[in-house]
Structure 1
Amino acid sequence: PDYAWQLAKNLDRKRLYMELIRPGKGFQYDGRSIATAKKLGIGVVASTDIYSANPADVQVLNVLLAMRERTLLNKVEQKGCTYSSGYIRSVEEMQLLCSDCPELIVNALDLAESIEFDLLQRDPVMPSVADGHDPARELQEKTYQRAHNRYSWLSQKVCARIDYELDLICRLGFASYFLVVADIVDYARGLGTPTAGRGSGASSIVAYCLGITNVDPLTYKLPFERFLNSGRKDFPDLDIDFCWRLRDDVIDYVYRKYGAKHVA
């Protein structure tokens, strides 16, 4: 309640609400909060602490809490420090918890309906791995350079497939994506750890030439469209398996090269 007075001095009171958590600190505290809200002319909304999606998960959280505190589960429960009430409540449960003040629910619904949520959409931002060069040109050059490691000679069929894939990959804006994955695989191989590209990525001759996958799609007649086509806007899946012995080293390399803010 005291903090509400400070906020009310600087914010539009029509857009300011006070939150009451149920179960909370007790009716005496709630009464004081409601009285303060009325004096300020602001709304009061119902809320609840949430630590899990449903009641069944609460006991798991309590066990983790006991482990963190290095004590027995029953001792944590005796202290009243458990997450017993911290789950997503149903509408009926919230109405029951707020039966003494139904306006808490009404205000919460009004607040929810007044919110305009618009998640900004933007194209994925890929890191620069082309050393200042055009990613599309870099991918083309690297693909053809490494194609000689895969084929004794580049037949018209091989070149036609490479050109077809490169055109679509670059047109959809995935050139940097292929370069990043190839860079990670190159580093892993440099450590001497085996890698294995799997999934629909094996349908790409570009991925094969770059060393991301080890299956020649021409030999096994794998259509590129199974992996990527003009109708696809999301990133294609280039799934790579790394040997567990050096997996942490590979992850560390990715963090160091591309930055923790750009790695998930």
Structure 2
Amino acid sequence: MSLAFSVLASGSTGNAIYIETPKQRLLVDAGLSGKKIEKLFEEASLDPNKLDGILVSHEHSDHIKGVGILARRYGLPVYANEKTWQAMAAGVGVIPTGQKFTLEKGRLLPFGDLDVDSFSVSHDAADPMFFSFMHGGKKLTILTDTGYVSDRMLGAAEEADVLIFEANHDVGMLRMGRYPWNVKRRILGDEGHVSNEDAAMALADIVRRKKADVYLAHLSKDNNMKDLARMTVQQTMELEGVGPGQDFQLFDTDPEKPTALRKL
């Protein structure tokens, strides 16, 4: 009766997260090539032939690059909200009508023995959203691709046992980096991405209420590093009175390597 997951890939170059229960297997986003995602499945000792569907958070290429090819190759239903379907049409190609399903954001939906809740995030996409998954008394929340963490997002993540949470950039690295100013301004804005420090403050608020393990996700290839993100989040949370090892465990994710399948 377990809820299980593997972060197949996470980062600014591509994202895909696998969710499993005894009766349901879903992929959240498919932001790499079909070939690469199949390789990640193999490395994680998982079988894409057993997938029951793909959930799409928003239309940016690092979340939809492989959606169309996987849907056609494996005959998978694809779930997205109406505005995201419109925005990603060109990016996913032709998907048979019988495989296209529209999600109503904010409504709790059953997928077999898995309950899925969706919630809005603040990002420069048509209608971006992320998800919480509930099964057997356990909860997993994915929250990335947002410029800030609102009270409503904090509420969506409450009572989670595991948080897959954005720590996109180090502000100093971003400000001093090679990106043009308009891109820096976008990332730093309310519809951009959460920094290491802001992630830590939000995580402290969540974990203080209930212990939850944290997977740091969607790190920028150019404006962050795993060690820096982990150190910043850990130190900031400790200053907020929440310490790793006692209140939570802190894990990395990778844009090229899947995490081991973990059962909750």
Give 1 or 2: higher strand fraction: 2
TM-score of the superposed pair, with normalisation by structure 1? 0.24
Higher RCO (Cα < 8 Å, 6 or more apart): 2
Give 1 or 2: higher helix fraction: 1
